[in-house]
């Protein structure tokens, strides 16, 4: 495994479960990838992550840390040492906004900021923070900066409904005190004595729809100025194209790797890929799905047969609706009050109780049950 993030950890778990010897090469000093170094503590307590990784280690998976593939070890070496290689290095390369003032002290990309906080390193954060972007990294940066005592303003070039960030996370950030400025794009960052003093934004209007299905922001002539002493750039993450080119693997125009959509094999024999490396920046569940699929395909290639069903539980369902429909209401996780959660990095949203979880499971609407090809609902959501 090249990369110890969610895709690599999942693949390692299942391949070890299938009986293979697995080694994970990780560039950081700990496993977890974005889970460890990008997701803040209030979203994913690191003790929970450490427990999961320990379970994987106990299956026999070997972890080699501070190993940067391409620098410390090369793909040719992996090719010679292993029967199969799974590449899952993620999207750690930050996109950059090219505008005047990015060289000033106080301008930083989102991922290094989040990683520094995750490592408990000193982060030079001012009292007034401007965050450029509308994705999850922007919102994570905003909520983290709030917990560091800063006043936070998030600047996004489209409308609120167009933000790619998780809606609940945006609402939580707003409850905690983050301010949002929509239909605005960074124009230049102004400085004084080499440090950030303010940021100028140009108002935008929405034009025609683009390939993302959203209306394209168009700059106007109207300029706004906002005083700040820190600017965090959260405008997207990308695959390290230099690594991909140096590896000799085929790359798409989008910058992601060429791969077989059915097997996850790359253009190089024995090499598989998954997660953000082939999909672009996505989410944890998608990355884990790629890891599980890769493990099945690698096992089948090495063993010459499909064996996953021997190790994973199989379930059969009939088309019989539940005899009794649960009258339980829908349950939701329990968020801490905004004023309380912004004071620390304590887990912000507590899980369901055992009783609530059982009740929620009993509310299954059995959407798989069909009559004449039409889904049948057996309960009304309250």
Q: What is the DSSP string of 86-144?
A: EE-----EEP----TTTTSBTEEEHHHHHHHHHTT------SEEEEE--SHHHHHHHHH
**In order along the chain (382 residues), what is the average pLDDT of each group of 10 residues?**
95 96 95 94 95 97 92 87 93 81 95 95 94 95 97 96 94 97 95 96 93 89 93 86 73 83 93 90 91 96 90 75 79 93 94 91 73 51 40
Query: Do residues 296 and 252 share a domain?
Result: yes
Question: What are 201-215's pLDDT values in tens digits?
Answer: 999 999 999 888 889
The SS3 of residue 343 is coil
What is the dihedral sign for C-alpha 196, 148, 174, 49? positive
Structure tokens at 308: 């996953």
Query: Do residues 130 and 160 share a domain?
Result: yes
Q: Single out the residue of 237, 195, 219 nearest to residue 92, CA to CA.
A: 237
Q: Work out the number of other CB atoms within 10 angstroms of the CB of residue 265.
A: 20
Query: Do residues 324 and 352 share a domain?
Result: yes
User: Looking at the DSSP assignment, which residues form a beta bridge with residue 105?
Assistant: 195
- Does 50 map to a domain? yes
For residue 19, what pLDDT is reported? 95
φ and ψ of 220, to 5 deg: -110, -175
For residue 281, what pLDDT is reported? 81
Q: Which of 174, 200, 233 is the last residue of a domain?
A: 233
Kindly provide the b/e burial profile for residues 218-229, where b requires at least 16 CB atoms within 10 angstroms of the residue's own CB.
eeeeeeeebebb
Q: Which of 311, 336, 355 is the last residue of a domain?
A: 311
State the Cα–Cα distance between residues 170 and 3, nearest whole angstrom: 29
State the Cα–Cα distance between residues 79 and 52, nearest whole angstrom: 29
Structural domain boundaries, residue 361: 316-382
CA 242 from chain centre, in angstroms, equals 21
Q: Single out the residue of 143, 192, 190, 146 nearest to residue 170, CA to CA.
A: 143
For residue 301, what pLDDT is reported? 95
Question: What are 254-285's pLDDT values in tens digits?
Answer: 778 889 999 999 999 999 999 988 888 888 99
For residue 381, what pLDDT is reported? 42
Provide the CATH number for the domain around residue 214. Answer: 3.50.50.60
Pairing assessment for the beta strands 374-375 and 370-371 based on DSSP bridges: antiparallel
Give the predicted TM-score (pTM) of the model: 0.88
User: Domain count of the chain?
Assistant: 3
């Amino acid at each position: 495994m090249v990369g110890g993030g969610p895709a690599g950890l999942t693949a390692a778990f299942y391949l070890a479960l299938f009986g293979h010897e697995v080694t994970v090469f990780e560039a950081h000093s700990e496993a977890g990838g974005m889970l460890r170094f990008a997701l803040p503590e209030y979203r994913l307590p690191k003790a929970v992550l450490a427990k999961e990784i320990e379970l994987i280690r106990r299956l026999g998976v070997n972890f080699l840390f501070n190993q940067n593939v391409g620098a410390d070890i090369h793909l040719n070496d992996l090719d010679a040492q292993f029967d199969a290689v799974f590449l899952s290095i993620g999207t750690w390369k930050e996109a950059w906004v090219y505008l005047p003032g990015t060289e000033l002290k106080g301008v930083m990309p989102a991922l290094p900021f989040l990683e520094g906080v995750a490592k408990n390193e000193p982060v030079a954060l001012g009292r007034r923070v401007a965050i450029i972007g509308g994705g999850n990294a922007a919102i994570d940066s905003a909520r983290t900066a709030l917990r560091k005592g800063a006043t936070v303003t998030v600047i996004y070039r489209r409308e609120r409904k167009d933000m790619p960030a998780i809606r609940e996370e945006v609402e939580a950030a707003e409850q905690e005190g983050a301010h949002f400025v929509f239909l605005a794009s960074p124009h230049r960052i102004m400085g004084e004595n080499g440090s950030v003093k303010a940021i100028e934004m140009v108002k935008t209007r929405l034009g025609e729809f683009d390939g993302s299905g959203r209306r394209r922001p168009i700059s106007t002539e109207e300029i706004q100025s906002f005083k700040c002493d820190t600017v965090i750039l959260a405008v997207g993450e990308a695959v390290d194209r230099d690594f991909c080119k140096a590896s000799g693997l085929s790359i798409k125009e989008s910058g992601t790797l060429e791969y077989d959509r059915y097997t996850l094999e790359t253009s190089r024999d024995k090499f598989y890929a998954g997660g953000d490396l082939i999909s672009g920046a996505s989410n944890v569940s998608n990355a884990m799905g790629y890891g599980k699929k890769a493990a099945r395909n690698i096992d089948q290639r090495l063993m010459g047969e499909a064996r996953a069903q021997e190790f994973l539980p199989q379930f059969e369902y009939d088309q019989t609706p539940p005899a009794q429909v649960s009258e339980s209401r829908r349950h939701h996780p329990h968020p801490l009050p905004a004023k309380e959660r912004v004071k620390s990095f304590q887990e912000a949203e507590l899980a369901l109780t055992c009783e609530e979880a059982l009740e929620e499971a009993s509310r299954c609407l059995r959407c798989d049950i069909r009559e004449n090809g039409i889904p049948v609902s057996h309960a009304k959501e309250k």
